[in-house]
Amino acid sequence: MVIDFHTHIFPDSLAKKALEKLIQNLRSQEPDADPNAPYTDATAAGLAASAKAAGIDICVVMPIATSPKPSLTLNNFAAQVDKLPGLRSFGSVHPNYDGALEELEIIKELGLRGIKLHPEYQGSNPDSNETIELVRKAAELDLWVLFHAGVDIGLPAPVHGTPARFARLREAVPEAKIILAHMGGFRMWQEVEDAYKSLSFYIDTSFSLDVHPEEGDRFARIIRLIGADHVLFGSDSPWADQKKALQLTGSFLSQHGFTKQECDAILGGNAAKVLGLEF
């Protein structure tokens, strides 16, 4: 089983407009970004077609609550996506929303396995009191928390989600089930190596192995530092081609001496355990 743990879609009625705005932000902040992106129309059907072409069995959608307001519409959509064939979804809340803890309880009742937080889009530091309280509540509810980690190429500095701040979050909430996207901190990988030893984080590979192949040796060290049983394959679709991302990830793991058991775990087995699926 192959599971892409990091993808994005929008409701059909919003997808075109949302994608246009995100593309505009991307081109303004990073003119040299992949000119072929996006690779889907950011709808559920578009993602399902992309996954089928890539040989991916399940995609996990990661929505983002971008405003400190109620996110019931977003989370109800996530719950609908979670029931579609070949798709699963996390929910999301904004750390600065007064009702965030109550929304976590609703997310749990909806049957979702976790939430996505994005320090850059949400303008909230991972070690802020609000985020610590939210992550602690998620841990009480047995919910996973996936963070965007490191630089976001569609947004200007400063970076909120730094490895040092995630390390302080871990110190504050040692029991939390935390996944850090983009190999633990996009374009901050030296800090990842310095900060994450023995912190029991999970990481995903999205928009990293295929985008910065020159960091291959460092990525291999990070995987061994984190532990291959704590690494999840992700593409960041529609911003990367799922088929290419899967092929490059498989090649990378083989070239850097990871065993078949480790490769199978990274490409799907670890994600199946997070999702509570048989593998």
pLDDT 10s digits, 150-187: 999 999 999 999 999 999 999 999 999 999 999 999 99
pLDDT digits (tens, 9 = 90+) for 17-68: 999 999 999 999 999 889 999 999 999 999 999 999 999 999 999 999 999 9
Nearest to 98 by CA among 63, 71, 75, 125: 71
Contact by Cβ (8 Å): 180, 6: no
Angle subtended at Cα 208 by Cα 205 and Cα 209, rounded to the nearest 5 degrees: 80
Closest by CA position to 205, among listed 176, 175, 230, 170: 230
Question: Residues, the chain, total?
Answer: 279
Q: CA 275, CA 144: separation in Å to the nearest integer?
A: 9
Retrieve residue 169's tokens: 């979050």
In degrees, rounded to 5, the angle at the alpha carbon of residue 12 between the alpha carbons of residues 154 and 241 is: 50
Tell me the pLDDT tens digit for each residue of 83-95: 999 999 999 999 9
Pairwise CA distance, residues 244 & 39, whole Å: 11
pLDDT attached to residue 278: 77
Classified as helix, coil or strand, 114 is strand
- Taking the C-alpha atoms of residue 114 and residue 244, their distance in angstroms, rounded to an integer, is 27
Cβ atoms 121, 96 nearer than 8 A: no
This prediction has a pTM of: 0.97
Q: Which CATH architecture has domain 3-275?
A: Alpha-Beta Barrel (3.20)
Contact between 114 and 276 under an 8 Å Cβ cutoff? The reply is no
CB-count burial class (<10 Å; 0-12, 13-18, 19+) for 202: buried
For residue 41, the tally of other CB atoms under 10 A from its CB is 17
